[in-house]
Amino acid sequence: MKITVVGLGYVGLPLACLCAEKGHDVSGLDIDSARVEKISKGISPIEDESLAKKLKKVKIRATAKPEECIPKSEIIIVCVPTPVDHSHSPDLKPLIDSVTTVSKHIKKGSMLVIESTINPGVVEEVVAPILKAAGIDPAKNDIHLSHCPERIDPGNKKWTVENIPRVVGAVTNEALKKAAEFYRGIISAEITELSTVKAAEATKIMENTFRDINIAFINEMARSFDMLGIDIMEVIKGASTKPFAFMPHYPGIGVGGHCIPVDPYYLIKRAKQTGFDHRFLSLAREINESMPHYTAELVEKAILSKAGIMQGAKIGVMGLAYKANVDDIRESPALKLLSILRGKGADVRAFDPHVADMSDFVDLNELLDFSDYLIIATDHAEFKKILAEDFKKNNIKAIIDGKNCLDMGAIKGLKILYHGIGRS
């Protein structure tokens, strides 16, 4: 089939490659011409070696011009970001702009799938009206409109776009069947057909909200156990010996990424319009948003106990990305932590081997050489290999392990002050 994937990011690009691998004739549409340029040369704009390899093998016609690809496409899949703004309000502009562009060029009888994460109601209340304004009525199958929420875990080698099960919901039964048939042709895992498009929108929001509240739960437990002098990591290990029901999550400096800290706000806001107040989801967001501040308090306490003042304290932050072994800094709690500490007058500098352009040093040794105090903000594999002796050699006075990923015993054994999140 002739396919256009709209949005060539973490979601769209792997999907475009998969469609091409399966023999489809694939175009990629993106507003970022630099990104289009790179992909046209077979270079991946995101750090992902398997993707980079794939891009060299498959043929994807990348363009910034919708008229070059949409009119001749039988299937159009929208994979653009659905972020929130600084006040945590959903920002549907990228989706609205993309659907508006598609509505100007799409031909009748085509299939339009929205993969972006959206709250229940967006397809029928936002997407369909844009199409209708262009004289295209999805309820009459002028085009086949469906929602198949993306499920991707960036950096995950085991679960990829090809083998992760998906759900699909559509505006009409015909659209549902066509979408399910298409996805069964490219994905080896189960494709579950849901009875309404709202159910599909709700499924993705629920899975990610489930993750956010579980992380908030363990963050709260960590803060409580820290006061009780209990090691949260030992207790998580203990609870995980229960062969059913318990699901381990881990405390940290906060929750980042383009999904988990964002998706709950889409549901909270839409539910409010029906008069329902998601108190629990809102509290979980409050707890997770508070973690960078909590971490900064731990840092300040450690520094005051050593130096007596924060002003000018040389703090090295290890990691800027929102999670281990990726280069993505979206909603990264590490960035929030940096600004909080700088607000307290400390001399804070960072190093992340995956985010060189935002690092203050070229390598780890430079960071260790500069720092009197260290914070682990991201548990990159490179950081977990550092020996406690290396910290001692560099005269590190205190370490705040924001991901509980270092060897606490070895560090304390060398008389370096150590504080994790829920352990010390």
Segment lying near ligand SAJ (by CB under 6 A), choices 38-46, 255-263, 264-272, 362-370: 255-263
Query: Rounded to whole angstroms, how far apart are CA atoms 163 and 113?
Result: 19
Taking the CB of residue 336, how many other CB atoms lie within 10 A of it? Answer: 20
Between 198 and 249, CB nearer to ligand SAJ: 249
Nearer to ligand SAJ, 304 or 381 (CB): 381
Q: How far apart are CA 195 and CA 151, in angstroms?
A: 19
Q: Is 91 in the site for ligand SAJ (CB under 6 A)?
A: no
The distance of closest approach from Cβ of residue 78 to ligand SAJ in the complex, given in angstroms and rounded to an integer, is 15
x/- mask, ligand SAJ, residues 210-229, rule CB under 6 A, reads -x---x--------------
- 157: how many CB neighbours lie within 10 A of its CB? 9
* Sign of the alpha-carbon torsion through 21, 27, 30, 32: positive
Among 45, 256, 319, 422, binds ligand SAJ (CB under 6 A): 256
User: Which one of 148-156, 182-190, 300-308, 354-362 is the stretch in contact with ligand SAJ (CB under 6 A)?
Assistant: 148-156
Binder to ligand SAJ among 151, 166, 419, 423 (CB under 6 A)? 151
> Distance between CA 275 and CA 58 in Å, rounded?
49
Dihedral pair phi/psi, residue 351, rounded to 5°: -140, 130
Interface region with ligand SAJ, contact rule CB under 6 A, candidates 46-54, 106-114, 137-145, 151-159: 151-159
Nearer residue to ligand SAJ within complex by CB, 150 or 226: 150
Q: Please check whether residue 343 is in contact with residue 332, taking contact to mean a CB–CB distance below 8 angstroms.
A: no
List active site positions: 204, 259
Do 394 and 412 meet the contact criterion of CB atoms below 8 Å apart? no
Structure tokens at 413: 């054994």
Under the criterion CB under 6 A, does residue 132 sit at the interface with ligand SAJ? Answer: no
Closest distance to ligand SAJ from the beta carbon of 327 (Å): 12
For the CB of residue 231, give the shortest distance to ligand SAJ in the complex, in Å: 16
Can residue 367 be called a binding residue for ligand SAJ (CB under 6 A)? no
What's the CA dihedral at 253, 259, 264, 267 to 10 degrees?
Answer: 170
Measured CA to CA, the distance from residue 151 to residue 160 in angstroms comes to 9
Nearest-5° angle of CA 286, CA 274, CA 264?
A: 30
Give the whole-angstrom CA distance, residue 418 versus residue 232.
15
How many residues belong to the site for ligand SAJ (CB under 6 A)?
A: 19
Strands 75-78, 2-6: parallel, antiparallel or unpaired by DSSP?
parallel
Q: Between residue 281 and residue 340, which ones bind ligand SAJ under the rule CB under 6 A?
A: 322-323
Touching ligand SAJ, residues 192-211 (CB under 6 A): 208, 211
Indicate which single residue of 153, 300, 366, 407 sits in contact with ligand SAJ (rule: CB under 6 A).
Answer: 153
66 contacts ligand SAJ (rule: CB under 6 A): no
Question: One-letter amino acid identity for 224?
Answer: S
Q: Is the dihedral of CA 139, 2, 57, 181 positive or negative?
A: positive
Residue 47 interacting with ligand SAJ (CB under 6 A): no
Task: Choose the binding region for ligand SAJ from 12-20, 257-265, 310-318, 409-417 (rule: CB under 6 A).
Answer: 257-265
Q: Give the interface with ligand SAJ as residue ranges (CB under 6 A).
A: 117, 150-154, 208, 211, 215, 249-250, 252, 255-257, 259-260, 322-323
